Structure 1
């Protein structure tokens, strides 16, 4: 019986101390805000910033479509590249047309995102060719169609 009284007394004392500490905490004005360390914010920015897609992440359906670090698409044809999955939250593929009159890029199989399409004009024009690639359960697919007339030179694309 005596042990129960001591236990009840200790519990009441703890509740009383808790109430007092909450009261003191709410009346105390603390104007300081939490300053996150620089290394933490730079690490977060690194993970949230879109990462560039590497050519090694592209697997062409035809080996001739990827030659010496460049994407080669014969005139009037289409090359299809499977995009490897990544743990990054977002990746960006940036290409520029270095040979040929124009090429059409189509990014498909993005989970929940409609296909993205962009046409690249010849090298004289400045065009934003950044296509965002989001992670998903499915692999992405990049199709590049060379819009040069048949018999003309192949379209040659390289990363920016």
Structure 2
């Protein structure tokens, strides 16, 4: 009887240690922006045809360009959209959760692409990442900016 109690106690301690190691790994992976374990993430080719496309728009400060893109595409029936910025001073800074949520990412300039790859390299590795080449010279909802966003995003996604 006493031996059974000792074996049960040892088994519980061993299980607790395994659980702690796993939670530590998960916490460290989240801190590093690594999707661990990978089983929960969907690949681009696994998206259900009936599921709306999650699109993330990125600029520097999330002030003019990416919020404009979000506003332009917000009501499209086949899309869910978010916007964020790469700068620490962004109105809404891009997060690992944003990257994981998205099926496709649009950045305004190459520098945004580089920043995302540097900060979220492993999480972003299998995501379609499109550079729109829209310079930071427009105000929020500037008609020319709206036309650029509609044309460029629409052509990439095959939307009118």
Instruction: Give the strand-richer structure, 1 or 2.
Output: 1
Greater RCO, CA 8 A, separation 6+: 1
- Point out the structure with max Rg over C-alpha: 1
Q: What is the TM-score when the length of structure 2 is the normalising length?
A: 0.29
Instruction: Give the helix-richer structure, 1 or 2.
Output: 2
